[in-house]
Amino acid sequence: MRITFFAAKSYDMDSFNKIKDQYPELELEYWETELSPKTASYVKDSEAVCAFVSSDVSAKTLKVLHEKGVKLVLMRCAGFNNVDIDAATEYGIKVMRVPGYSPEAVAEHAMALAMAANRHLHKAYIRVRENNFSLQGLTGLNFYEKTAGIIGTGKIGAAMARICRGFGMKVIGYDMYKNPDLDFVEYVELDELLGRSDLISLHCPLMDSTHHLINIETINKMKDGVVLVNTSRGGLVKTDDLIAGIREHKFSGVGLDVYEEETQNVYENREDDILMHSTTARLLSFPNVIVTSHQAFLTEEALGAISQVTMDNAMAFLKGEKSGTELN
């Protein structure tokens, strides 16, 4: 079976090539271009395509893939809010994902963002490189004995909760389902979490019920001087409301690995572009905001796990077996 990879970066190719000899039944074809209805039309002799979180796996794209004979979409990520599952089912296309590759990778990046935003490391780094050793504006807070609010306590949220506990923080959580492994977490309602937390970290999926979970109403319920971190999905935060909160000095720091406008930016080099009327440019203009490029997953361990599970998914499909990672 041939698999066409879309948006394949060098690190993707390296991690998959390391193990491809274990799967002689699979032929891998790497394309740098992103998956869209237009690029899908160029697929030839591939029964499967491999897409990522930034890919357009809409009904229109799936229709084209169906016409090209594609039977399988392999998502090399956990999230699938960019996939029209109903359309895939209608066209007889199986969709499989990587539900958990390295929760610790994402959680560690979340804490790195929280620490960098809180202690203004991004500002300090630039200052020192310019021989400016002033400490003005670099004052942060101790996380020790503060309260961390974890919204979503699945595998990644649980890993973040353990990290916060290791910092000596009191950890409270909000989730529809309590994680029985987190006996040190106090579960509370969302409003209470917002009002008590010094650090709020988002680790829930993007669904209709969580879209714009962080908005002007929920921001107003937060403590003044709170640190907010999002390594989950950009749509959890209503960006205009976040910017309004930043301008009102609600946050001492904001760390974002994801944001609503990221699709055209993520994994691309746009250093020569002028970002006209850009949400990204507005976010980057604030001294207490640090933004990274959807890289929380990017560790050797996570890439290895993504490659292994994706290839195992392809083999399960080829053999007509269930892997437990099917979305339809």
What would the pLDDT profile of 229-254 be if each residue is shown by its tens digit? Answer: 999 999 999 999 999 999 999 999 99
Q: Distance from first CA to last CA of the chain, Å, rounded?
A: 20
Among 87-91, 94-98, 165-169, 275-279, name the one with the lowest average pLDDT: 275-279
Residue type, 63: K
Q: Which residues contact 207 (CB under 8 A, 6 or more apart)?
A: 81
For 78, list phi and psi in degrees, rounded to 5: -90, -40
Per-residue pLDDT, 320: 94
Residue 73 clears pLDDT 90, i.e. is over it: yes
If you average pLDDT over residues 302-311, what whole number do you get?
A: 95
Q: Are 43 and 72 in contact (CB under 8 A)?
A: no
Per-residue pLDDT, 81: 85
For 239, list phi and psi in degrees, rounded to 5: -60, -45
Q: Are 254 and 228 in contact (CB under 8 A)?
A: yes
Give the residues across from 174 on adjacent strands.
Answer: 151
Per-residue pLDDT, 256: 96
Per-residue pLDDT, 322: 93
Fold match, 2-101+299-319 / 103-291: yes
Average pLDDT value for the chain: 93
Q: Are 73 and 51 in contact (CB under 8 A)?
A: yes
H or E segment at 200? strand 199-202
Among 115-129, 179-193, 234-248, 274-288, name the one with the lowest average pLDDT: 274-288
- Please tell me whether residue 256 adopts helix, strand or coil conformation: strand
CA distance 251 to 289: 9
Q: Are 239 and 261 in contact (CB under 8 A)?
A: yes
Its pTM stands at 0.86
If you average pLDDT over residues 295-323, what whole number do you get?
A: 95
If you average pLDDT over residues 219-229, what whole number do you get?
A: 97
- Please tell me whether residue 28 adopts helix, strand or coil conformation: strand
Per-residue pLDDT, 282: 85
Reported as a pLDDT band with limits 50, 70 and 90, residue 283 is confident
Q: Are 193 and 174 in contact (CB under 8 A)?
A: yes
Q: How many CB atoms lie within 10 A of CB 274?
A: 7
Q: CATH fold of 2-101+299-319, please?
A: Rossmann fold (3.40.50)
Task: Please state the domain extents for the chain.
Answer: 2-101+299-319, 103-291
Q: Which of 115, 120, 204, 114 lies closest to 158, judged by CA?
A: 204
If you average pLDDT over residues 111-120, what whole number do you get?
A: 97
Residue type, 92: G
Residue 280 clears pLDDT 80, i.e. is over it: no
Class for the domain spanning 103-291 = alpha beta
If you average pLDDT over residues 57-80, what whole number do you get?
A: 95
Residue 272 clears pLDDT 70, i.e. is over it: no
Residue 124 clears pLDDT 80, i.e. is over it: yes
3-state secondary structure 47-77: CEEEECCCCCECHHHHHHHHHCCCCEEEECC
Residue 265 clears pLDDT 70, i.e. is over it: no
Locate 276 and state its tokens: 């006209």
User: Would you give the DSSP letter of residue 236?
Assistant: G
Per-residue pLDDT, 266: 56
Burial class from Cβ neighbours inside 10 Å (0-12, 13-18, 19+) for residue 208 reads exposed
Per-residue pLDDT, 308: 96
Angle of the 155-166 helix axis to the 103-119 helix axis, nearest 10? 50
Active site residues: 233, 262, 294
14-27 pLDDT per residue, tens:
999 999 999 999 99
Residue 78 clears pLDDT 90, i.e. is over it: no
Locate 265 and state its tokens: 């930016």
CA distance 100 to 103: 7
If you average pLDDT over residues 248-264, what whole number do you get?
A: 87
Residue 267 clears pLDDT 80, i.e. is over it: no
Q: Are 160 and 111 in contact (CB under 8 A)?
A: yes
If you average pLDDT over residues 218-234, what whole number do you get?
A: 96
CA distance 230 to 298: 16
Q: How many CB atoms lie within 10 A of CB 122?
A: 17
Residue 190 clears pLDDT 80, i.e. is over it: yes
6-59 pLDDT per residue, tens:
999 999 999 999 999 999 999 999 999 999 999 999 999 999 999 998 899 999
Q: What percent of the chain has pLDDT over 90?
A: 86
CA distance 255 to 257: 7
Residue 66 clears pLDDT 80, i.e. is over it: yes
